[in-house]
Amino acid sequence: MATSSDLTFVNRADLTARRPPPRLSPLAALLRDGGVKRLTGVIYFIALLLLWDPLLAALGIMLPVELDGILFTVAICAPLIAVTLLDGLRTQVRTGTPFYRDVAFLRNAGEIVLLFLIVQAGVILFGNLQTNLARSGLVIDFGVIGRTFGVEITEGPDPGIPLDVPLIGAVLAEQPLFRPDTVLRALITGFANTVSVSSLSLIATTLLGLFIGVGLLSRNWLVRTVANVYTEIFRNTPLLVQLFFLYGGVIKALPPRPREAVELIPGAMYVSGRGFYYPALVSGDNSSIITVALLIGVVLALVLWRWRVSVHEQTGQPANVWQYILSAIAGCGLVGLLIASAQGGFPYSLNLPEVGNFNFSGGASLSAEYLTLFLGLTLYTAAFIADIVRAGIQSVHKGQIEAARALGLNNGQTLNKVVLPQALRLAVPPLTNQYLNLVKNSSLGIAIGFTDLYNVGTIAYNQTGQSVAMFAIMAVIYLTVSLTISFVMNLFNGTLALKTR
Amino acid sequence: MAQIAHDPELFYVASPQAPASRRPPAAQIGIAGWMRENLFSSPGNSALTIITALVIGWALVTTLSWALRDAEWTVITANLRLLMVGQYEPTQIWRVNIVALVTLFLCGGSVVLAAGTGRGVLIALAAAVFALLIIPFSAAGLPPPPIRVLVTPSNAANPLLFTGDAGQVVTIAVEALDDNAQVGDVQNYVGFLENTAGLENSRTLWNDLRAQVAAGTLDLSQYALTLDIAVIDAAGTVLATARSTPDDHDATATVTLPASGWYAVTITRVDGAAAGNAFVRLDGVTTFTTDEASTSARLARYGEPPLLACPDPAADCLRFAAERDLRFEGSRSLGAYLTTQLVPFVQAIMLPILAGIAAVVAGGALGAWARRTPKVQSPVRRGLLIAWVVMLFASWFVLRGIEGSSVLPPVSTSVWGGLLLTLILTVVAILASFPLGVLLALGRTSSLPILSAVCTAFIEVIRGVPFITILFFAKLIVPFFISASADVDQVIRMMIGLSIFTAAYLAEVVRGGLQIVPKGQIEASKALGLNAFQQTTQIVLPQALRAVIPAIMNQFVALFKDTSLVAVVGLFELLGIIDFIVNGQQQFRGLAREAYLFVGIIYFVISYAMSAASQWVERTGVGSARR
């Protein structure tokens, strides 16, 4: 009979001991790092791009265009080729495998071919660009944003008045780029309009989408059917058709004269073929008291919030955070209102639009284009959001709701604490896409003459002929906006993500 | 032993007969039960139902009454060709028809072969045919609506030509405003001809008049007109005449037409005053449609329209009782809607639609036959596939034409338009974007850093900017990048823009599919000795693509809708042609609502069909990964 030591495999290795990592000199470590490699590559690429022509000129070399392009491409690829070949040869020396049979070498070779083709294509396209520009006598000039924008913009912050920004306004207004009526000022106005209409529709469409999404799941057949028909109609027709129909068929078909305008709220809200007129909120001299009071309320609310959370964590009593926060803010606001009223009358007043002969006087207004775009974006996107909301809510397992009921949660609690957190987690990524789509779709305002960023850019191009420069500027702005929204929504998504222990 | 008392009550004795089945309470079954459960389950629910029903009912009634009583659908009927094929050479439209019929035939065949025939589809087709045949037939007996011709101070109406048959009774009457004019009377004037008095928009004038009558500011003394009205035949012989004087407004003349041919109504102002308007009303005159087929049929039957004496021979003075010029103000009767709006439309679409249905049914019959007969199934399937591929390439040459050919002379893409252009853009962009999207997705997920970076940058940039930017880029910037000798035409540039845009979005969809292929599959394929290419095409892609078929179809639906954006860069596709129709032609000014609605319905039907197909694929499991 064998002893136990024969049967048992005893691992004699000391698992607690750490093997030190292979020692590398700091320089070698740096070189091994992929990021450094990539960065070096990019720097080399840019440096060559900028220095190639001066270098040739300095050396006094004149090359035919085709040869110049190919040489440039080769120069770009040269370091990669060298490194790849060296690596391949080193492997061959070390292992005896011929370098052309080495997988790593073949992969790198493929990449070099790709890079070569891309750079060569870029060189050819750039060459075409230069020849075509030279032929049409056009010089790409990003200074176009400092030129005069000759079209009056009636929507949004007026580019024709001197810039008035707190703190830095005085300095900025001196700059030639920021003088009244420059293309840059017009672009800023256009951007403000894009942001304004997008953000307003974003809020409205979320609410409407939520409403219809809940309708899609209603137990009431009629409500469900209506919600279904709504989503099908708005999802299956192009937004542009909806915008044209709203603009040409509904809003512009309303009588333009103020006297014939449709009264939504008698004496206060009107819609006519020229736009939407609503009461403006005018703050009096003593309204700053309210602002201060509300600020105090917010601070108080923050303190209360911290306190309730700690009470909840220590004693398990319900936190009721929202009740405390809302009552703190509302209470402070009310106190501020009382003080202000006692000092000099009610601090706010409404300025109602008044029907005039040719136009409304007083009040605030949205142009017909703004109204159309706002309605169009809201109605269209809501159909998509409704479907996302429906899918989100349906994804919550029935057992979850039953379990919540079994624990004694009421309807509201079930919705707030069980259904919504899980539904939102699924809904946020597609919702992000819809928000991005909404912002991008606001560029369709150009079709109905809304002066958004895109429209301003196109007008500037038409006036100056600087198509390449203007399109580069617009692409950069839109990309920035898109990436920012993605980033914010990703942050939000991160806070919702399942926290596993 | 004690006798057990048998109390029959204590025992349960099953009766030999089954108990009579009892119906559930009436409130739980049938319509009442359904309504109770789905509409009125609780007080809150009942309130919700009633409120929704009221809102929806109001919306439906408003929309329908507008569509039947106020809308001028003649803008659609008169421009049907523009809407369908744009300004494609009218003599060459047979080429479009052939491509459409072949496509429908193949569609019918492929769909029936793959999915079989649902009874619902057959019933729908039969219903469509029935409706197409019955609507014109049923409306044939309706009297034509009265036509009014406006007489203005500066210009009495020119002779109004119409065609009539022997025995037809025509009545003409003057409808003048007099001292007793009330708003109510005025509102009931409906159905007038536009462009009859050298006036571009009689509606505006009419509305002004009505407002003045309502406000009591109209000077009725100016309306004391003296008019001579007459019906004359092609030779100029007066058949009936009547005179309306300030003392006796109601001049009426009735005539029974002696023979078939052209007739005209003439109106002469005798008073010579320079103020006041009036309407002359015509009863029993049929308005005629102006499409090419009807025009040539009319020429054949009644001959050339006669050149009657004009007040001013130089001016284009002949006016026709054309349907497309007939406008309505106030409310129109259902009969007028049928005779002037629906029937002409149905007549215009009847032949093409019947031919289309015939092609689909023929294809479907082939498919059904192949489905029943296993022997021919795979040859037919293969044949259909080959036919599709051949058709897609051949149709480009059929539509575009071949240089120097006498049968297929070239048709410039600049005259392509309407639904034809929309569909061509969609099909080409689908065919181009799909492979490009798959390649981009593979590139992005590849382990090669440069390839991956390039693909990622491409996808993200395209997805980050609005589509319209890409179209303008294709229109304005791309020419700078192409060498001067290669001039790519606008339509092709738009196709490239659409394809690239869709490819970037498709790439993300496909990437999602690639992520769900289990790693074990790839390892197994490596273990089997497949190389990278085989592994991708035979193991990874089939599974990845199959999993995302619904998402891909959604992307194609989005692409179809996005083709409407090329209207903004100046192509006359289905949406762009509307501007051409509504703003480019005087008599259709202000009819944008009808036109956009019609186009919206076309977009809806096609998108909905595409979504339904994708849902069908999802449901039947053709698209799901095999389990």
User: Which residues neighbour B278 within 8 Å (Cβ) at sequence distance 6 or greater?
Assistant: B150, B151, B174, B175, B176, B177, B223, B225, B227, B244
How confident is the model over B387-409, as a mean pLDDT? 88
- Whether pLDDT at A6 is above 70: no
CA distance A348 to A337: 10
Highest mean pLDDT among A78-92, B134-148, B467-481, B543-557: B543-557
- Whether pLDDT at B314 is above 80: no
CA distance B264 to A389: 64
Contact B469 A38 (CB under 8 A): no
- Whether pLDDT at B227 is above 70: yes
For B134, the token pair is: 């019955």
3-class DSSP state of B143:
coil
Highest mean pLDDT among A407-416, B138-147, B208-217, B557-566: B557-566
Predicted local confidence at residue B592, as pLDDT? 86
For B510, the token pair is: 């496909």
**Tens digits of residue pLDDT in A362-403:** 778 888 999 999 999 999 999 999 999 999 988 888 899 999
DSSP-derived letter for residue A373 is H
CA distance B102 to B99: 5
Residues of A in Cβ contact (< 8 Å) with B450: 111, 114-115
Beta strands per DSSP E along B286-428: 319-320, 326-327
Contact A471 B469 (CB under 8 A): yes
Predicted local confidence at residue A373, as pLDDT? 94
Predicted local confidence at residue A366, as pLDDT? 85
Q: For testing the chain B interface, which of A33, A194, A220, A440 should be mutated: the one with the most B CBs within 10 Å?
A: A220
B62 touches chain A (CB under 8 A): no
Chain A, 480 to 499: residues with Cβ < 8 Å from chain B are 482-483
Q: For testing the chain B interface, which of A126, A218, A222, A234 should be mutated: the one with the most B CBs within 10 Å?
A: A222
Mean pLDDT, chain A, whole residue set: 83
How confident is the model over B431-457, as a mean pLDDT? 91
- Whether pLDDT at B269 is above 70: yes
Residue with tokens 């040459």: B397
Chain B, 526 to 555: residues with Cβ < 8 Å from chain A are none
How confident is the model over A413-436, as a mean pLDDT? 86
How distant is the Cα of A438 from the closest Cα of chain B, in angstroms?
10
Chain B, 11 to 50: residues with Cβ < 8 Å from chain A are 38-39, 41, 45, 48-49
Residues of A in Cβ contact (< 8 Å) with B608: 232, 236
Nearest to B415 by CA among B24, B136, B81, B8: B81
Predicted local confidence at residue A249, as pLDDT? 84
Least confident of A12-16, A260-264, B22-26: A12-16
B217 against A423, higher pLDDT? A423
Cα dihedral across residues B189, B191, B194, B197: positive or negative? negative
DSSP H/E element including A271: strand A269-272
Cα dihedral across residues A320, A323, A326, A328: positive or negative? negative
For A91, the token pair is: 């492997």
- Which pLDDT band, with edges at 50, 70 and 90, does A69 fall under? confident
CA distance B469 to B175: 57
How much is the pTM?
0.82
Residues of A in Cβ contact (< 8 Å) with B484: 128, 131-132, 135
Contact A475 B454 (CB under 8 A): no
CA distance B577 to B81: 11
Contact A471 B473 (CB under 8 A): yes
Least confident of B135-144, B344-353, B386-395: B135-144
**Tens digits of residue pLDDT in B39-87:** 887 888 889 899 999 999 999 999 998 888 888 888 888 888 889 988 8
- Which pLDDT band, with edges at 50, 70 and 90, does B178 fall under? low
**Tens digits of residue pLDDT in A313-362:** 888 887 788 888 899 889 988 888 888 888 777 777 778 888 877 777 77
Residue with tokens 């790409």: A140
Nearest to A337 by CA among A288, A385, A384, A371: A288
Residue B320 β-bridge partners:
B161
CA distance A76 to A115: 9
Give how far the C-alpha of residue B88 lies from the chain's centroid of Cα atoms, to the nearest Å. 18
For A127, the token pair is: 């060459």
Predicted local confidence at residue A267, as pLDDT? 77
Residue type, A83: V
Q: SS in 3 state form for B116-137?
A: CCCHHHHHHHHHHHHHHHHHHH
Question: ipTM score of the complex?
Answer: 0.81
Contact B567 A447 (CB under 8 A): yes
Chain B nearest-CA residue for A250: B593
Residue in A118, A220, A447 nearest the CB of B39: A220
Distances A405 to A411, A418, A422, B534 between C-alpha atoms, Å = 8, 10, 16, 53
- Which pLDDT band, with edges at 50, 70 and 90, does B490 fall under? confident
How distant is the Cα of A248 from the closest Cα of chain B, in angstroms?
6
- Whether pLDDT at A239 is above 90: yes
Strand pairing class (A364-367; B227-233): unpaired
- Whether pLDDT at A149 is above 70: yes
Chain A, 6 to 65: residues with Cβ < 8 Å from chain B are 38
Q: Do the beta carbons of residue A405 and residue A414 sit within 8 Å?
A: yes
- Which pLDDT band, with edges at 50, 70 and 90, does B187 fall under? low
A21 against B34, higher pLDDT? B34
Contact B454 A114 (CB under 8 A): yes
How distant is the Cα of B330 from the closest Cα of chain A, in angstroms?
16
- The CA radius of gyration of chain B, in Å to the nearest whole number, is 34
Chain B nearest-CA residue for A478: B465
DSSP H/E element including B164: strand B160-164
CA distance A452 to B104: 43
How confident is the model over A279-292, as a mean pLDDT? 79
Predicted local confidence at residue B188, as pLDDT? 54
- Whether pLDDT at B203 is above 80: no
Residues of A in Cβ contact (< 8 Å) with B464: 478-479, 482-483
Highest mean pLDDT among A63-72, A309-318, B393-402: B393-402
For B85, the token pair is: 């094929």
For B408, the token pair is: 């297929």
Distances A201 to A89, A198, A435 between C-alpha atoms, Å = 61, 5, 10
For A347, the token pair is: 């601090």
How distant is the Cα of B578 from the closest Cα of chain A, in angstroms?
10
Contact B451 A111 (CB under 8 A): yes
- B224 — phi, psi (to 5°)? -85, 80
Residue in A226, A239, A458 nearest the CB of B52: A226
User: Which residues neighbour A31 within 8 Å (Cβ) at sequence distance 6 or greater?
Assistant: A37
- Which pLDDT band, with edges at 50, 70 and 90, does B622 fall under? low
- Whether pLDDT at B401 is above 70: yes
**How many other C-beta atoms lie within 10 A of the C-beta of residue B397?**
13
**Tens digits of residue pLDDT in B29-49:** 778 888 888 788 788 888 989
Residues of A in Cβ contact (< 8 Å) with B578: 244
Q: At what angle do helices B490-516 and B449-464 cross, to 10 degrees?
A: 120
Mean pLDDT, chain B, whole residue set: 83
CA distance B366 to B109: 6
How confident is the model over B203-215, as a mean pLDDT? 74
Residue B266 β-bridge partners:
B230
Across the beta sheet with B326-327, the strand order is B252-256, B169-175, B278-283, B147-151, B192-193, B326-327
DSSP of B375-388, one letter per residue?
HHHHHHHHHHHHHH
Residue in B45, B448, B575 nearest the CB of A220: B45
Contact A471 B48 (CB under 8 A): no
CA distance A476 to A474: 5
CA distance A197 to B154: 49
Predicted local confidence at residue B601, as pLDDT? 95
Strand pairing class (A269-272; A262-265): antiparallel
- Which pLDDT band, with edges at 50, 70 and 90, does B627 fall under? very low
Residues of B in Cβ contact (< 8 Å) with A461: 476
B59 touches chain A (CB under 8 A): no
- Whether pLDDT at B625 is above 60: no
Ramachandran quadrant class, A320 (left: phi over 0; alpha: psi -120 to 50; beta: rest): left
Q: SS in 3 state form for A299-362?
A: HHHHHHHHHHHHHHHHHCCCCCHHHHHHHHHHHHHHHHHHHHHHHHCCCEEEECCEECCCCEEC
Chain B, 483 to 522: residues with Cβ < 8 Å from chain A are 483-484
Chain B nearest-CA residue for A253: B590
B618 against B313, higher pLDDT? B618
**Tens digits of residue pLDDT in A120-133:** 888 888 888 888 88
CA distance B581 to B79: 7
Residue B142: CA count within 13 A, CB half-sphere: 20
Q: Do the beta carbons of residue B149 and residue B193 sit within 8 Å?
A: yes
**Distance, first Cα to last Cα, chain A:** 49
Beta strands per DSSP E along B245-375: 252-256, 261-269, 278-283, 319-320, 326-327
CA distance B246 to B176: 9
